[in-house]
Structure formats: C-alpha cells, structure tokens
Structure 1
Amino acid sequence: MRSVFLALLVAFFATGVAAHVARSNSLRDEKLTFNPTNVHVKRLAHTPRTLTNAQRLARGLNPARPQLRSSRRLAGRGGPSLTPTTTSTSTDTPTGTDTTTSTDTPTSTDTATSTDTPTTTSTDTTTSTDTATSTSPTPTPTCTAHTGVLELTGGSYNGYVSSETNSFGEYSVTTDASEALQVQYQECDGAVSYGPINFKTLNGLSTYPYLGGIVGFSSSSDNLASNSPNYVYLGGTQESAAGAPPQRGANSFSAASGTAKDYESAIWSVDPTTGAFTAHWVNTDGTSSAPTIMVVQDAIVLTDDTFRFIQTYGDAVIVSLTFAESSSAAVPPQATSSA
C-alpha cells in the first residue's frame, strides 16, 4: 500500500513539473517570435522603377534613351536665310561728287567724298564690335558614385537582395535580376571603400532611402554579441553617421509593424577588388560586432551568434553578399542623396 502511495506521489510531481516546463516553453516561444504576430501591418511605398533623367544623372547613371511618341518624320521648320545680303548704290552728279555705300553683314561702312576744288576731304570710318563672354570653370568633382546590385549566395540561394520587402518592411531575396535592389555609395577624395559607409537604395523604399540594420522584434537589447540570439533586419532607414550607436528614428520595420525599434545605416564595407559586402554593427557601449548575414523565412538578418539564433528562432541559412558594380560616375559630394 505504501509503495502504491509513493508511486502516485512521484507521478503527481512528475506531471506537475512537465506541465510547468511545457507552459514555460509555450510562453517563451510566444514571446520570442522572429516577427510580431496578430498585428495590422502598414503597406510601405516603394520608389518607382522608372527614374527621370535628372534623377538618373544625380545618381551617377547614364540618361535613358528618349521614347518617340510618333513614327512620323518631323517636317522641317522655316528659318532665316544664311546667305549674306549685299546692297550697292552708286550716284553720279554734275558737281563731280561720287558717293558709294556698301553693306555686307557683318556691318562695314566706307564713305568717300571727292570734289573738283583745291580742298579734298576723305573720311574712312570703320565700326567693329566684338563681344566675348567668359565664365569661370566648374570645380572638378571629387567623388565617384558607384552603382550596382547585391548578389546573394549561400546554401540553396543564388540570387539578389530584392527591391521589394515583405509585409514588415524587411528586404528579402529574388532570383530575377530585374527585381534586384539597386544601391549606390560615394567614394570621395580617393578614400578606399572598406567602410563603414552608407549605401543608398535607388529603387527600394522611397521614404527610407538607406539600406540599414533595424533591431529585431524579439532582441533583448540593441547589442549584437556572442552567446546572444539578438539580431537585426535588413530594411530601409534614414541616414546615420559612421561609428554611431543605434539611433531612434523612422525606419521601415517600425512604420510597417507599429513597433518602435532603433537602427543604424553606416554599417557597410565593400572590398573594391572582390566586391565582398560585409557589416559592422556598433553596440550601445561603443564596441563593435562583425555579424553573420543570414536568410530567415522571407527576410535577411544579421546576428553575432548563429548557433544561439537558430536554437531560439529555428532554421536559417548563412549567406554572403557581393556588390556587383554596374556603373560609376564623377559627381559632386552628396549628389547621391538627391532624389
């Protein structure tokens, strides 16, 4: 009888402990979700893919070819004749006076008067006007705008960072080159581009024109470090200074989800030889992290500890990014920030 009682008591405690663990795990999983759940997301505006020639030139791109609205040839327009006009008048009078007037464009006038008197008068008048306009030379631009796309490879992925975002304002992946996100950075005064620098998006989110990192929804802080599953999304942000810690302000994730999160934009480096595209995140205490880039669900994220992240949020694929340059052009400083 006693043994039966002890068995029932052990079973009771075991059941209670299992229920507590299951309930704790359920609450933990519900809290630590990669993206928020049961929220109404706001649709964000994207930059039109067709840019005006002024916008293209400001971004260091070549002008687009003109589109003819009609196949009919344009009729020639009438204009003034380019043939010079010459007028000559000769008059002979009994008094011995001979006057000749000749006009040829450009204007030149010669007048001669002769009479049969002891006094002879000769007048030669020439009028010439030459006007030259000079302007000061335009200062030579000191910056080069580099434009291209971000190739994404790793695991089963072989594509590009997409110009489209998911419903939470996070950039995703595409295999269609025509849908790739076009980015641009400036290299000024011969400085190398190892970074960290800002990358502007040309056909991404119009209100948030910089490619930045946005603190993840379930990150416990703004810091990326080992032994932490914290992460940041790739999304659209405003511009932040190189070396600055996370900033409070407008970004695509906060606008879409309604959840305020901090961001950084000047976190990128690109190898000018290989195009290798890497990130450098600045923590709130000034220390920095060189996070790994991963694809999770339909988003691209950065994390310092891939093991802790996968253990917490599930499967992820480690990928690498490469800047594939399509064009470059000399521009005045800050020309890439104009729309």
Structure 2
Amino acid sequence: MAFGVRSLSLAAIVVSMVIGMVGAIPSASSRDVVSFNPVGIKLNPLDDLLAPLTARGMSNAQRLARGLPPNKPRFRRTDKQLGARTSPTPTTSVPSSSPTPACSPTTGALRAVSTDADMPLDGYVNASPNPYGEFGYTTDQVAAMIVTVSPCGNGSPINVVSSNSVKSMPYLGGIEGFADDSPDLEPREFNYMVLGGVTQTSPHATPQNGANSYTAATGNSKYIESAIWTIDDAGVLSAQWVNTNGSLPATILVYVPSADSFALIGDVDAFEETFYQAPISTFSVVPV
C-alpha cells in the first residue's frame, strides 16, 4: 500500500512538471505565424529580367558617376546638308507639341531616406531587386535605381519608370503582399504592398492583374498598381494606393529591414506588431 501511495505521489509530481513545462511554452503570436514572404519555396532567378546598370539612355553625368565614358556626340546637319533655299516659304504659326518646362521629364537616382532614430536611412533604392523581386536599400550610388518621372498630368498620379532595373517591367509600383488577405490597405490591418517592377496601370485604377517582379520570382499571382505617385517641386515622391472599392486609404512608405524590402502600408502600429520595426521612409529623385 505504501508503494502505491509513493507511486501516485511520483506520478502527481511528473504531471505537475509536465503542466508547468506546457505553461512555459509561449503561445503563438502573429509574429510567429505570419511571414512577410513565402518560405520553403524555390524562387525563380531574375537575372534574365534585369537591365544592366549601364543601361542606354543615361545622361553623361549618370555615365560618369558609374565610371563610364560619355555618350558619343550627335552631330547636327550643316547648312550644306540642308541645301540652299530659293525663297522663303510662308508658314502658319501652330502651337508647339514639345513639353513646357513645367512638364519636362525629370531623370535621376531614386534616393531613400528615413529619420527614424533607431534605424536611419541615407541612401538609395537598389536597382537590383531582392530574390523575391522586391526593391530594397543600398548606400552605393552606382547600384541606385535610375528613374524618369513626367509630372504633366495636372496633378494626376504619375508613373515612375526605371531605366536600369527590371527591363520587362520598368514601372515602380505596388504589389499585393504575400500575407495580405486582400489587395487593400486598411486601418488596424497589417496589409502591405511591396514595391517592385510592374507593368503599367492607369491613374486612379483599382488593383489590377498584371506582370510583376514578385510573381516572376515566386510564381504567386498578385495584384498591382503603377500610377500611384505624385512629385513635388523638390523632387519628393508620395504614393497613394487605391483600394478595390475605389477608396483612397492612408498610404505610408516604410522600409522592412528583415526582408530588405520597401513597402506601402496603411497602419504602422498594426504592421510593426506583426513584422517588427519598419521605419517610415521618403523617396526623392535626385541628380546623379
């Protein structure tokens, strides 16, 4: 009988220890179960989609900044090539089709900065995407994305076009995030749109199906938007996502260091509660 009591006491101790161990195991949180990008999948290489950093169309300043020779000079026709005219030809004045100075395209490096005290940024958007097809951060000016913007739409959202990144998807746009439950940005939701190379969509358009660098890398089809940008006189870019119902949510640009990815989000607190720190960032187009 003493043996039985002793056995029961030992069993009770073991059960108590097991319960204590179970209680010590932390419960799963959103950080544990939500991944910013898919894991355990084979990614498609993007090398064939990338334009060389020495892409055509660079200005002499851009080429010299990369250690390249200047462009070959282009010679204008001489008077002899034009030939003699026998008499003046009457002409009618017509409006010029060339852009006005206020609408002239602007080309430069895409600068990325953040004044976050814990994680300041002072560099550029990397022209080469990460393995998931998302654009990240670099301090190397030679690796910076070169973009052209044409703010000629009377305040309408514009496209940002890269000349040295994903050549078949040259538009810098938002791509529905892997963990999103919809292509919408909402308050109190962690939804996010990664920035990558996309095909063109119309201004004010809701999320569209379209080719993009994230899908090219992962095989996962996602919605996109390209014409989401505005630019001020100082060259600072701002983004405005359009939800599926046509509403215009808060659109905040952040950098996600754990993924080396810039993204657009609607709620900083909800996003950081799920994916840790994400400093608010600013893009601008600067001369090179």
TM-score with structure 2 length normalisation?
0.74
Preserved contact between residue 161 and residue 172 of structure 1 (Cα < 8 Å): yes
1:169 counterpart (123, 126, 133): 133
Structure whose CA Rg is larger: 1
Contact 1:195 1:267 in 2 (8 A): no
Deviations 1:258-283 (A, max 9, x none): 111111111111112x2221110000
- Report the CA distance between 1:133 and its aligned residue: 10
Structure 1, 133-142 or 212-221: larger mean CA deviation: 133-142
Query: Deviation at 1:215?
Result: 0.8
- 1:93 is aligned to none
Following TM superposition, by how much is the alpha carbon of 1:64 offset from its aligned partner in structure 2, in angstroms?
4.1
Letter paired with 1:65: N
Identity %: 33
Q: Is the 8 A contact 2:151 2:158 kept in 1?
A: no
Q: Sort the Cα spacing of 1:132 and 1:276 in 2 relative to 1 into closer, same or farther, 3 A.
A: same
1:293-322 deviation line (CA, Å, top 9, x unaligned): 111121111111111111111222222222
- 1:71-110 CA deviation, whole Å, 9 max, x = no partner? xxxxxxxxxxxxxxxxxxxxxxxxxxxxxxxxxxxxxxxx
Cα distance 1:50–1:229, how it changes in 2: closer, same or farther (>3 A)? same
Give the letter aligned to residue 142 of structure 2.
Answer: S
Matched, 1:212 2:176: no
Match of 1:278 among 227, 231, 238: 238
CA deviation digits over 1:169-208, x for unaligned, max 9?
Answer: 10111111121111111233xx55x542111111111111
Q: Is the 8 A contact 1:146 1:325 kept in 2?
A: no
One-letter code aligned to 2:181: S
Deviation digits for residues 41-97 of structure 1, max 9, x if unmatched? 112221123344xx459xxx9x94339xxxxxxxxxxxxxxxxxxxxxxxxxxxxxx
Distance 1:215 1:305, change over 3 A: same
Name the residue aligned to 1:221: 182
**1:149 maps onto 2:109 in alignment:** yes
Structure 1 residues 233 and 186: alpha-carbon distance in aligned structure 2, compared to 1, 3 A threshold: same
Q: Find the residue that maps to 1:212 and give its secondary structure.
A: strand
- Counterpart residue number, 1:125: none
1:48 matched to 2:59? The reply is no
Q: Matches of residues 181-330 of structure 1 in structure 2 within 5 Å?
A: 181-188=145-152, 191-192=153-154, 194-272=155-233, 274-296=234-256, 297=258, 298-325=260-287
Please report the TM-score for the alignment, with normalisation by the length of structure 1: 0.64
- How many Å separate the matches in 2 of 1:17 and 1:314? 26
Change (3 A) 1:247 1:17: farther
* Aligned twin of 1:97: none
Give how far 1:135 is off: 11
SS at match of 1:255: helix
Cα pair distance change 1:249/1:226, threshold 3 Å: same
In structure 1, what is the equivalent of residue 81 of structure 2? none
SS in 2 for 1:288: coil
The Cα shift of 1:159 comes to: 0.4
Q: Is the contact between residue 125 and residue 144 of structure 2 (CA under 8 Å) also seen in structure 1?
A: yes
Summarize the Cα distance change of 1:247–1:12 in structure 2 as closer, same or farther, 3 Å threshold: farther
In structure 2, the CA distance between the partners of 1:19 and 1:264, relative to structure 1 (3 Å rule), is farther
Structure 1 residues 56 and 276: CA distance shift in structure 2, 3 A: closer
Give the counterpart letter for 1:316 in structure 2: A
Please, which of 40, 65, 72 is the counterpart of residue 71 of structure 2?
65
Between the aligned partners of 2:125 and 2:58, the Cα distance in structure 1 is: 21
SS at match of 2:127: strand
- When residues 288 and 12 of structure 1 are mapped into structure 2, their CA distance, relative to the original with a 3 A threshold, is farther
Distance 1:223 1:13 in 2: 44
Q: Deviations over 1:136-171 (max 9, x none)?
A: 899531352111122211132110111111000101
Q: Would you say the 8 A contact 2:31–2:273 is kept in 1?
A: no
Which moves more between the two structures, 286-295 or 157-166? 286-295
RMSD after superposition: 3.5
Count of residue pairs brought into register by the alignment: 249
Task: Report what 1:95 is aligned to.
Answer: none
Q: Kindly state the Cα deviation for residue 222 of structure 1 after the two structures are TM-superposed.
A: 0.7
Determine the C-alpha separation between the residues in 2 that align with 1:186 and 1:293: 21
| Structure-2 change in CA distance of 1:13 and 1:183 (3 Å) | same
Alpha-carbon separation, structure 2, partners of 1:21 and 1:284: 37
Q: Distance in 1 between matches of 2:278 and 2:31?
A: 17
Q: Would you tell me which structure has more strand in proportion to its own residues?
A: 1
